[in-house]
Structure 1
């Protein structure tokens, strides 16, 4: 089993962040908390690390991981353009449970998988995650579960599933925790993923904890009608 660092203890938190930073720099994967689920994280600019992340989950290049960033400035450096239409959504829900797929900067030296030139970005609403991202820079992060298994909201479940494929686990207790009835019917317990990669066209490719109605209130008719089976670039069951 990987080392587990209790982030409620200041000494353990400090040691855990240091160890996480070292592991990521060495191309290893770690488990970190987000505001929705626990995620398996790796250096977004290391092909070896991203390949290790996908292998740990039992996935291939057809499921490229989203990228978590510490703030809007970091996101802007990775995106070709952030559509003006979604700025009100980012104002309200970054940090928060909204992942947006945009065109990636063509000059970026990374390989996240078969992205079609896009990147899925999110600023998580969790202090441990934000603090780590400020130190490491952008991280490729997918939910810390094996393919086909539920995304974990407890660190122990993530550690049990992923085992020695991760260097360590940052344990921040139970994450997510949306009350029953508040989550949209049929929704994933991760973030809602909004595809913004086509000019003037927006569609939800995974319904998560951020309701469709909230997005529609901002985008209006530019938000495409929900498809019977929505899919997308950003690892639909696992973006966190």
Structure 2
């Protein structure tokens, strides 16, 4: 089982142990402001392979590489002026940019899934200290079995991957609770590849540009989180529930009761006050709680498709998508 070190009470021990494990080519579960990540040396093919093996993740699904500062990022990728403007405004924070790899980049092709671009993010919080101490980018997808619910606490990581890991760093619950927003600049346009913890409206306000949404769900995989079925609990998921069937788990929003909820196995409200930021922070934890209730189906109430609601709905829709072997 993994050792768990609380970064809030023993930060130096956490940094020393993390540097050692990462230097040996093994992944470490690290806290970020979005979700907990399964981090390994982005320049070491053996370390990256261990990420894919631990998660059971398809190798055509690229990994985000996390950096501690702009100098580190510029060693590996090329910034255009608009991407740099976005990074200046929103880093450190929940923004991943898809950028061209430098010809001299030492990030291994396994991390980029062989693409000539790389997803790069500068996280906030203790993970940034880990990266700075290690001195190289860390490839770090969410620290969970591939396709399942992302972890927002160290306990979530331990329950899923604890038997496979050497070290988990515990910095308490993730502040944002949703993965990063992924953007790609093409000329004078900005494409949204995955909605996330950065509200797209803030990007549009900064740049004066309308962010383009994907034309179809069948777009080529350019970034993590683009698979149709993802973030899935063991239970089935249905959306926009206006009533609840006996034996279902209910996750609602905004405090309003839903018909039949007295028959639900469990009732959870993402934000009784209707705060989308609070709802985002609770989403994955509540999905795990609902899944653990034994219900065969998790019913989600109506959530507004605005602000962070766009990212919340993206996760729920992917959780509800047909899985391998199921009819579409």
Cα gap change, 1:102 to 1:16, in 2 (>3 Å): same
What is the aligned partner in structure 1 of residue 150 from structure 2? 151
Cα gap change, 1:177 to 1:200, in 2 (>3 Å): closer
What is the aligned partner in structure 2 of residue 195 from structure 1? 184
Matched, 1:169 2:168: yes
CA contact (8 A) 2:36 2:142 kept: yes
Q: Find the residue that maps to 1:37 and give its secondary structure.
A: coil
Q: Is there any run of 5+ residues in structure 2 with no aligned partner, and where?
A: 232-328
What is the aligned partner in structure 2 of residue 46 from structure 1? 44
Cα gap change, 1:100 to 1:208, in 2 (>3 Å): same
Matched, 1:6 2:6: yes
Matched, 1:89 2:86: yes
Distance 1:60 1:144 in 2: 15
Describe the superposition over 1:16-52 as per-residue Cα deviations: whole angstroms up to 9, x where unpaired. 2111101111100110000111000000000000010
Could you state the TM-score of these two structures normalised by the residue count of structure 2? 0.64
Q: Find the residue that maps to 1:142 and give its secondary structure.
A: coil
Structure with more relative contact order (C-alpha pairs < 8 Å, separation 6 or more)? 1
What is the aligned partner in structure 1 of residue 238 from structure 2? none
Describe the superposition over 1:159-196 as per-residue Cα deviations: whole angstroms up to 9, x where unpaired. 22112322200000111246xxxxxxxxxx11100023
CA contact (8 A) 2:189 2:209 kept: no
Q: Which has the larger radius of gyration?
A: 2
What is the aligned partner in structure 2 of residue 217 from structure 1? 205
Q: CA deviation at 1:113?
A: 4.5
Describe the superposition over 1:66-108 as per-residue Cα deviations: whole angstroms up to 9, x where unpaired. 00000111111111x2110133321221000100000011222
What is the aligned partner in structure 1 of residue 281 from structure 2? none
Distance 1:169 1:88 in 2: 34
User: Which residue, out of 70, 92, 96, partners 1:99?
Assistant: 96
Matched, 1:204 2:201: no
What is the aligned partner in structure 1 of residue 255 from structure 2? none
